Amino acid sequence: MSDVGLAVRAQTWWTILRISLEERLVYRGDFALGTLMRFLPIITQIFLWWAVFETIGSGKVTDADIAGYRYPDMVAYYLLTMLTRAFSSMPGLSSGIALQIRNGEIKKYLVQPVDFIGFLLLTRIAHKAAYYSVAVLPFAFVFFLCRGYFAAGWPAWHVTAAFVVSVMLSFALGFFLEACIGLIGFWFLEVSSLLFVYMLLSFFLSGHMFPLDMLMSTSETAHLLVDWLPLKYLAYFPSAVFLQKIQGAELVRGLLIEVAWVAIFVALSRFMFARGVRRYSGYGG
């Protein structure tokens, strides 16, 4: 591709990103209120885990230990999963893709020089940018108030770098995984039931509800299942990296597996879109 072609394509993608960001910020008040309301469950979770550890410790919260997690570790873990899930969660992506296929709206991407998956990726990047432009101060405030729960303190620079890389990969993994679910709409008109099953499994197996150490310690089979599935890299893995629960060779292995899953779903999404377009009839819209 010539330099002019590359410049035109870069300008096109930049325009799409800028417009998507502007669309997210049209209703600033509603967007900001919705973002801030997501912080309310933190209080509930802190009191919930306090009650759990108090029960296990026979009234002494500091004496309780669950799968290597003490109460401060659990609160710190939950705060980190909130941060990582904010990157990896893609609300409305799968259902939106399936709806566009069913209604015939997707055909506009077939007649215009715009890549469908690339367009959706840019809109999600714009969404995350808008979200964190609003949420960065509340996140900083909450983490400052809860700094005492991070008993090990701020990790070393290489651990922090690994955490940032894992979070960026979790965003890519979450996007392309849900894009693949949405692209099933080329073959099935309704994917809501499949999406419900995925969300249920993701809630448990991503580590959003509780640290996966609790589940993996029950049996070797559960450990292997959770360890090789992509879901744990959406929330548990980055959080465990920051808390230094995963270190050394295990950390390198985990990052390589996460990269492999991202590559698999990138390739799968491209394959599904190419095959789906071949059988697409373009009714409606």
CA 242 – CA 248 distance, rounded (Å): 13
Using the predicted structure, report yes or no on whether residue 42 has a pLDDT greater than 90: no
Mean pLDDT of 5-34: 62
Residue 4 scores a pLDDT above 60: no
Long-range Cβ contact pairs of 127-131 (< 8 A, separation 24 or more): 127/20, 127/24, 128/86, 128/87, 128/171, 129/21, 130/21, 130/24, 130/25, 130/31, 131/35, 131/86
pLDDT of res. 201: 86
Q: Determine what percent of the chain is predicted with pLDDT higher than 70.
A: 81
Residue 75 has pLDDT above 70, yes or no: yes
Total number of residues shown for the chain: 285
Lowest mean pLDDT among 22-31, 53-62, 66-75: 22-31
Residue 203 confidence (pLDDT) = 83
Amino acid at 18: R
What is the spatial distance between Cα 106 and Cα 259, in angstroms, rounded to a whole number?
29
- The pLDDT assigned to 137 comes to 77
243 vs 190 pLDDT, higher one: 243
Rounded percentage of the chain residues whose pLDDT exceeds 90: 22
- The larger pLDDT score, comparing residue 145 to residue 14, is at 145
pTM of the model: 0.84
Average pLDDT for 179-206: 87
pLDDT score of 5: 56
